[in-house]
């Protein structure tokens, strides 16, 4: 049975129990699927589904908070949860509740699995009727970035206030394991064919202690590498040491979005406060190059005004590995960078771009413009804009996924 909000009595009863809901039923024959781009509209609690091609044609929309009334009732009945809920709204949410951070479809395309920061959970939303298949409350009080394994069966989610990554079965929501991280775990990436998980912790990004002299207040920031089967920590990478050795002691060691080269020998990563990115050689364990990108003259140099310590937040790589796409968040542009020369292409105007991914055909970079509620595609070959379409309020993560052929949304 799938859950749908009916009335207050039902909500009170459900709020007092552990939430484990029936999983999706299996069809006798696999449904035909189509590849799509899914856009999470964080402040609105919806996901727009677009064509995975660079034209970004609109397909449909899904409500990812159908249980909003029940969740809010639980929160308002718990003073501690309410304090965190309101704190998220006033800090990282910029005065808004955060209803969707990350999302992936299940292998059969029947459901969308979503991390919801303000509700501190991960849910599976049925694409046929919009109901909740299952819900997993994360430890602590906020859910953040996710990652899906190469086989599509496991999803990892950062629980940012408990310094934990949970790994779940994407179909049932059952926890398979977890591991400890540094302060405020953020980005997750499966590598080695799904054998390892890399998690980067970004520390305290919601304080106003942003002067470089106060960097020590930001907490324990590191990359934690864990075995994705045993969940044991196998390696810790402290970028502070690597940055200092490279001669960039001026940069923060809070690793933000990352992109691996196709052979996973190089890691490209952004850090807090930096208008650029760095290249890290995995085998030799050292930073080998950095790229400083242009500043927008209109961007304030007051670091306390930059959203959650980000200057640039969003990085993706073309399937061939020859181009990088960078979201210049506070500088209001996106650009394609040649990986061999690190020379940037045209600066494509984009309003507070917050994420970068790749179209299904690999031809284009796709960025979310959180400041203008749009998603924009940029040609990897030329660096020029291809298309831009409106979406919901404050789009952030954009992911490739699959939905049933003919699906047009549930609302």
Structural domain spans, the chain: 34-404
Architecture of domain 34-404: 7 Propeller (2.130)
If phi > 0 it is left, if psi is from -120 to 50 it is alpha, else beta; for residue 230 that is: alpha
User: What DSSP state is assigned to residue 217?
Assistant: G
Cα–Cα dist 287/27, whole Å? 49
Task: For 282, list phi and psi in degrees, rounded to 5.
Answer: -65, -45
Task: Strand 255-260: give its sheet, edge to edge.
Answer: 255-260, 266-271, 276-281, 286-292
Kindly state the greatest CA–CA separation across the chain: 63
Report, in this order, helix, strand and coil percent for the chain, each rounded to 5: 15, 40, 45
The helix (run of H) or strand (run of E) holding residue 71 is helix 68-76
* SS3 state of residue 66: coil
Closest CA to 163 of 93, 251, 233, 234: 233
Residues of the chain whose pLDDT is less than 50?
Answer: 1-28
The bridge status of strand 196-201 relative to strand 353-358 is unpaired
Residues β-bridged to residue 132? 3, 125
Exposed, middle or buried by CB within 10 Å (0-12, 13-18, 19+), for 248? middle
Whole-number pLDDT of residue 216: 87
DSSP symbol at 344: B
Centre a 10 Å sphere on the Cβ of residue 35 and count the other Cβ atoms it contains. Answer: 16
Give the per-residue pLDDT at 11: 38
Considering Cα of 330, then 334, then 339, then 345, what sign does the dihedral take? negative
The predicted pLDDT at position 29 comes to 57
Regarding beta strands 315-317 and 323-328, do their DSSP bridges make them parallel or antiparallel, or are they unpaired? antiparallel
Residues 6+ apart with CB under 8 A from 93: 43, 117, 118
Which of 244, 158, 166, 167 has its CA nearest to residue 202? 158
């Amino acid at each position: 049975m799938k859950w749908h909000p009916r009335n207050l009595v039902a909500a009170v009863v459900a709020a007092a129990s552990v939430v484990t809901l029936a999983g999706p039923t299996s069809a006798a024959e696999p449904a035909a699927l189509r590849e799509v781009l899914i856009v999470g509209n964080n402040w609105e609690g919806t996901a727009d589904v677009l064509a995975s091609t660079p034209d970004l044609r609109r397909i449909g929309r899904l409500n990812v908070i159908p249980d909003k009334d029940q969740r809010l009732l639980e929160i308002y009945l718990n003073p501690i949860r309410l304090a965190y809920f309101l704190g998220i709204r006033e800090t990282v949410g910029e005065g808004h509740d955060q209803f969707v951070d990350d999302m992936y479809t299940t292998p059969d395309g029947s459901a969308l699995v979503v991390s919801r920061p303000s509700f501190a959970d991960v849910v599976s939303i049925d694409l046929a009727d919009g109901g909740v298949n299952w819900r997993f409350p994360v430890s602590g009080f906020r859910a953040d970035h996710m990652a899906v394994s190469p086989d599509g069966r496991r999803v990892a989610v950062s629980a940012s206030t408990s310094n934990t990554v949970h790994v779940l079965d994407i179909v049932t929501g059952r926890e398979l394991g977890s591991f400890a991280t540094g302060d405020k775990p953020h980005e997750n990436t499966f590598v080695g064919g799904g054998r390892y998980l890399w998690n980067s912790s970004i520390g305290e990004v919601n304080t106003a202690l942003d002067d470089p002299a106060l960097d020590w207040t930001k907490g324990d920031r590191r990359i934690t590498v864990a075995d994705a089967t045993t969940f044991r920590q196998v390696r810790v990478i402290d970028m502070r040491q690597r940055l200092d050795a490279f001669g960039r002691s001026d940069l923060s060691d809070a690793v933000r979005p990352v992109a691996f080269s196709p052979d996973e020998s190089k890691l490209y990563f952004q850090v807090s406060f930096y208008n650029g990115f760095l290249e890290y050689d995995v085998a030799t364990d050292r930073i080998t190059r950095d790229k400083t990108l242009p500043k927008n003259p209109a961007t304030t140099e007051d670091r306390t005004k930059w959203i959650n310590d980000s200057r640039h937040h969003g990085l993706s790589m073309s399937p061939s590995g020859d181009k990088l796409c960078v979201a210049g968040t506070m500088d209001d542009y996106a650009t394609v960078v040649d990986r061999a020369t690190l020379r940037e292409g045209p600066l494509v105007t984009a309003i507070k771009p917050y994420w970068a991914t790749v179209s299904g055909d690999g031809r284009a970079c796709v960025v979310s413009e959180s400041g203008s509620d749009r998603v924009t595609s940029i040609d990897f070959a030329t660096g020029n804009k291809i298309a831009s379409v409106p979406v919901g309020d404050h789009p952030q993560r954009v992911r490739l996924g699959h939905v049933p052929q003919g699906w047009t949304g549930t609302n």
